[in-house]
Structure 1
């Protein structure tokens, strides 16, 4: 798989009081364009209007913004998903991973996203927008935390966002990996992200100090959690 993907465990504009984010700056810089085209996909939140408004407020001064609303919310209305092929960055918001995947498949987004990735568009996302790229993930789409084995599989293995920031994320994810309910995978704390390029893991980055990233792996004795070096952005 060609292309660049950034999976945020948390952080970015949606977790910033003023919309400023070193992770978002890092994503935009990947395009090497003075004013990149960036499209926000808020499907996981049911296209929450305030979420899309926060996105536009955070990016409008430095990028050409658009929103792909599959729920036909005004003022964006419904757009042909083929618009994704015209973007430099596609940024997926948080919410329900299960609902996102179901709705995307109805509208043909998985195939469109693969084409965009192959053509050089950076794919990024937070929380559910992190989970969707992997084969499987830890999700609260059904209320209590549960394993979800239904991702797009653009990144191999499983994912767990908000790893240290939300109650029971760490405990439950390690249990599912240990029992085989989820494959080995990346556990990413808030304000941190993992980066993949051309099918290979490149690095872990963070916009705050002490925001770790782990590789969680099943072993004969249960599960092993290996901390991955994280580069602090701006240093």
Structure 2
């Protein structure tokens, strides 16, 4: 993968940086922790300059974010409420009102998470989907995505440029931080799933069983 990134940047310069970060935003498993320090390193061996690399990466971040924002717009509140109102979803403890509550919360208090999450591995791209579902104002979405992306891109590109030929050390440290974030997210998900099973799924199954028994008795 590193060879592919190296060839793209060496052949296409800023366009290569833009494309890689755009692609990374649409497909989050691709590591910006590798692309950005490598891009910064290229400013020490080619005609690329650090401000230009940061700008290209930021344009890639914003344009890529709009792809997932568009996906979120397609997953509208109404469509999600209909989906979570189906019987399988009800058996899993979901209710259509959960969607409305989540979207309303995002409208009131959650929009700033678009800015914050742009500097957090893993969720930095995915946050664009709930922003689209909540129909966040496009201008505000662009501004928050732009500011957060500039911070993230500037740090990693600058560290890569400062490290020079040792840019891979920056990548290793960034991936170490990313791994910690992944473990924290997994732990949170496990706890949330356990809570959901106890508070939602088990009561829903008992209610369904009780309704079935009542029908049999009738």
TM over 0.5: no
Higher RCO by CA contacts (8 Å cutoff, separation 6 or greater): 2
Going by fraction, where is strand more abundant, 1 or 2? 1
Normalised to the residue count of structure 1, the TM-score between the two structures is 0.24
Going by fraction, where is helix more abundant, 1 or 2? 2
Normalised to the residue count of structure 2, the TM-score between the two structures is 0.26
